[in-house]
Structure formats: C-alpha cells, structure tokens
Amino acid sequence: MAEHIGAGIEAAGVSAIPMPVADGGEGTLECLRLPMHLSIVTANCRNPWGSPMRGRYGLSSDGTAVAAIHASGVVPEKMTVLADVTTLFSDAAEVFAPQKGADPATVERLAARLGDQARLYPRDPGNVRGGGAAGGFAGGMWAVFGAQITPGADFVLDHCGFDEALQRVSAVVVGEGRLDSQTKAGKIISAILRRARPLPVYAVVGSIGDYWGDDFAGVRPASDAVAMRHAGSEIASLMRLFAHQ
C-alpha cells in the first residue's frame, strides 16, 4: 500500500515518504527488518495446532529475536509481546470470534474455555490490557512466561522513525484494509492519529465497517494497486489545493 499510494502522490507532483508500518500483527517482522537491521532466520517449529512447520524470525546483532506467533518450544529469558489491540484476555472470544464466523453459542463456549484456561495459569491474565491479542496468546505469554505486553503500533513507529518524519511533512496518509470498531483499539491507525496531530491525516482503505468519528481529513476507498495510486493522486491534489488557499 505504501508503494502504490506513494507512487500516486508523486505522480501528482507532491513528494512522499513511504513508510510501511504494522502494529504487532501480520507484517510486523517485515516492517522491522530494515530499521532493526535484522537477519532473517528459518527454523523448524510447530504451529498453534502442534503441526511441524518452517518458521521465520529476525535476529539482530545484539541477539534480539523478532518473531511472529509460532510454538517453537524455545522461551527467551526476556520476552516482549507486541499487541495489536488493547482487548482484555477475558474479552477475546466476544471481540474476535464473531469476526471469524462464530455464532453466539460458539462465542459463549469459547469464552468459557478461556476462563477455564486462565484458572490453570500460574497467574490470571483475565484483566490484563492487551492480553486478548491473537485470541489470548498475549495473555498466555504474560501468565506463564512473564512476558511484557506493549502496544505494537508505538513500538514499530518508534523504530521506523515516524516522529522524525513528521517534522518533514505537511500531511499523513494511512493505508488500512478495513476501518471498523477495532481500528481505535490499539491498531496502527489509532497510534498514527494520536502522534500526527495537528497535521491532517488521510486514509486509503479497502472497506469501511462500524467506524465512528471524524478523525480524517478525507477517506478514499481502494482495493487494488490502480485504485491505490489513483487515491494517492487525489489526496495529493487536495493537499496542493489547500496549500494555495
């Protein structure tokens, strides 16, 4: 998205600083690879169902490993979980299961299982902020291994030099697959909106759900490369128009 939107902005005669970002979810390792100078390592591990698979993680020169969720059986001395939501462990089923197609009865059953699981842990993660990330994975790491749960969005923005880039721009354009009620619950856009004030923020999104608020200077729908480039050009034209008013 950064590449296509940026190309559209540049085509309209406005300079762009492409900055792919993530919030602890999908794509986080790729976004941190260059800023943290990570070497990509592959290893045998197991997926959440226990089946063998090949996993990837990034390794820095100081020994810091950055990995997406896989069950490798190796627990570091110090662990930080980058959470992409602020959802509590006890609310994970209610918040996320319907998105995956669960009916009310299934949601109730999954919530009960999370409660049972929490009681088996050395300490109860039920009310831990961000513990519901990845369906409760973050809370489990906190409860069993003493992991620190931190907002993934701010971690990535810090390492990508977002605040420094803000000093060189007159507006910010964000890309997102879908704007909905989860957008403000720790997702990358919520962190960008908070940090970018008072600059105008434009959004290019695949779709819009139950999102509320007037946080953006403009929202453009785009679900393919051509549409993203067109949206970037439209936004650049608006920026130039406002600059001359």
| HEC secondary structure over the chain | CHHHHHHHHHHCCCCCCCCCCCCCCCCHHHHHHCCCCCEEEEEEEECCCCCEEEEEEEECCCCCEEECCCECCCCCCCCEEEECCCCCHHHHHHHHHHHHCCCHHHHHHHHHHHHHHHHHCCCCCCCCCCCCHHHHHHHHHHHHHCCEEEEHHHHHHHHHCHHHHHCCCCCEEEEEEEECCCCCCCCHHHHHHHHHCCCCEEEEEEEECCCCCCCCCEEEECCCHHHHHHHHHHHHHHHHHHHCC
Model confidence at 186, in pLDDT bands (50, 70, 90)? Answer: low
Contact predicate 163/97, CB 8 Å: no
What are the structural domains, with CATH classification, of the chain?
A: 2-19+170-243 (no CATH), 28-152 (3.90.1510.10)
Model confidence at 71, in pLDDT bands (50, 70, 90)? Answer: very low
pLDDT in tens, 194-211: 999 999 999 999 998 888
pLDDT in tens, 222-238: 999 999 999 999 999 98
Distance, in Å, from the CA atom of 202 to the CA atom of 193, rounded to the nearest integer, reads 10
For residue 108 the two structure tokens come to 């109730």
Distance, in Å, from the CA atom of 147 to the CA atom of 78, rounded to the nearest integer, reads 7
Contact predicate 53/45, CB 8 Å: yes
Distance, in Å, from the CA atom of 46 to the CA atom of 49, rounded to the nearest integer, reads 8
Distance, in Å, from the CA atom of 16 to the CA atom of 2, rounded to the nearest integer, reads 10
Q: What order do you get walking across the sheet with 39-46 strand by strand?
A: 39-46, 52-59, 65-67
Distance, in Å, from the CA atom of 10 to the CA atom of 206, rounded to the nearest integer, reads 21
What percent of the chain is predicted at pLDDT more than 90? 70
pLDDT of residue 240: 79
Contact predicate 128/89, CB 8 Å: yes
pLDDT of residue 72: 47
pLDDT in tens, 90-145: 999 999 999 889 999 999 999 999 999 999 999 999 999 999 998 899 999 999 99
Token match 């910010």: residue? 172
Q: Which of 92, 43, 97 is nearest to 71 (CA)?
A: 43
Q: Is the pLDDT of residue 159 over 70?
A: yes
